[in-house]
Amino acid sequence: MGSSYRTFGFKFPPALAFCRMTHMDSKPRSLNNPFSRSPPREAPLSEAGEEGSIITLREWQGWGTTSPVPTIVTRIAEDLKGLEKDMDAQMSFGGNGGKLQGDFKIQEDKKHRATFQALGDSEQKLQFFSARQIACRLLGSRGYLCQKCWLPYEDCMCSRIAPCKLWHGIRFWLYMHPKDFLRQNNTGKLLWQLFGVEAASLCLFGISEHEEIMWNAFKLAGKDKVWCLYPNKNAVVESVQEAFDQGSSADLESTEAMKNGDETLNFVLIDGTWSNSAAMFRRLKDQAKLVWGDEDICCISLATGASAMHKLRPQPSWDRTCTAAAAIGLLYELQLLPKFSSFGLDKQAEAIEDALVVLLDALTTRRLRMGRSITRKVRHTSDIC
C-alpha cells in the first residue's frame, strides 16, 4: 500500500530533525512525567461541589472534555477519600510516575485488587480499571498540574499556545488510554488546546459515558465518514490518497456537501502505548460490528515520520510516532488533494507543529532543571530512516 506523497518536514529546530514514522507509542505512563522524580505531594482535601461531588463537573471538564463526570470515576474517588478517613492518613503521590505512595498505597492496593477480582465479567473489570486510573490522576494532580496543558504550574506553557480554528469538515477523536490521561508529555491534548473540545474530542478508553458520546456521533455520521489512524500490519488500511482521492461524480457531490458543512469526516486517533493500542483497536472493531454489523472499521495510514517527541520518549521503534504528529501528517496529506486544498489544512498542521515544539521545549527545560537526561535511549535502530 504505497503512496506517492512526499514526506513532510516538521518545523523543528535543526537539532531535533529526525526521520519520520507512524503511530502513537511510548512506555506505559502515569500521572507524573516519567522522566522526573518529583517529591511526594499530598492530594488536596475534598473539593465538594455541586451536590457534594468530590469531582465537580467544572473540574472534570476543565481537563479537556465536555462529558458529564463518569459515575464510576466519582464512586472510586469517593472510595479513595473514604479510605483516607478510615486510615486517618492523607493520600500522597510522587516518585517515578507520580503514583500513590506509603501505607495508603498498600491498603488501597489490597482493596482495589479485591474489588477487581470480585467483578463478574471482563467489561466490568475494564471499566473499573480505567476509572481507577483516572480517579487517581484527578486527585493527585489537583493544585499540581495545569488543567489546560497538563504540565506542572511552574512549567505551564499555555501562554505560548495560539488557538486556531480547525476546518469544520474534520473532527478529531482522541481515543485515549487511561494511563495516558494527564501524562505530561502526552501530545493529543495539543489538539483540543488549539482547536477546542468540539473539534478535537477526548474519548477515554473504558469510560462508558465517553465511548457512548463518540459512537452516537459515529452512528449519525455513518460508517463511510469514520476513519481510524491505525497503520497496523494486521489491519486493512488505505493511504490518504486511496481513501479520499476518488475523482468520481459522487465524490464531487460529497466535496460540495463538506464545503456547506453538511458532512464531517471523523478521524479516530488512538492515543496509547503500542501494546495498549491493540486492545483499543479491538474494542473499536467490536463496537463497529455491533453498530454496523461489520467489524472492519475503515483505517488509513500516513506517510509520516519521526516527531520531535521521539527524542524524549523511550519508544520501542522509530516507526511509531506521537498523536499530534499523526494529526499533522493527516492534515498535510489531505491538503495535497484537490478536494481539500482550499480549506487551509496546511496552516492548521503548522499550528500543531508549533504547539509540539512548545511542548518539547517545556519538557526539555523541566528535565534539565531537574538534572535529568534529555537524550532518549535507542532500543531499535533497524527502522531508522
Q: What is the mean pLDDT of the chain?
A: 80
Q: How many CB atoms lie within 10 A of CB 298?
A: 16
* pTM of the model as a whole: 0.81
Tell me how far CA of residue 134 lies from CA of 61, 64, 70, 187, in angstroms. Answer: 13, 13, 10, 18
Geometric angle at alpha carbon 163, from 47 and 177, rounded to 5°: 55
Residues of the chain with pLDDT under 70: 1-52, 95-98, 231-235, 247-262, 304-320, 376-385
78 Cα distance to chain centroid: 26
**Inter-residue contact 206 to 178 (CB < 8 Å):** yes
Question: What length is written for the chain?
Answer: 385
37-42 vs 92-96, strand pairing mode: antiparallel
Domain ranges of the chain: 14-28+155-369, 37-141
The beta strand positions in 315-371, using DSSP E, are: none
Do the beta carbons of residue 349 and residue 297 sit within 8 Å?
no
* Nearest Cα residue to 323 out of 359, 293, 361, 376: 359
pLDDT of residue 232: 64
Of the candidates 157, 156, 133, the residue with the CA atom closest to the CA atom of residue 144:
156
For the chain, what is the radius of gyration of the CA atoms?
A: 21
CA atoms of 334 and 272, how far apart (whole Å)? 24
Measure the CA–CA gap between 234 and 219, rounded to whole angstroms: 25
Q: How many Å apart are CA 45 and CA 367, to the nearest integer?
A: 29
- Phi, psi (deg, nearest 5) at residue 172: -90, 140
- Please name which of 60, 315, 371 lies closest in space to residue 202, comparing C-alpha atoms: 60
Predicted local confidence at residue 259, as pLDDT: 55
Strand order in the sheet with 265-271: 200-204, 170-176, 265-271, 226-229, 299-301, 237-239
Coil, helix or strand at residue 163: coil
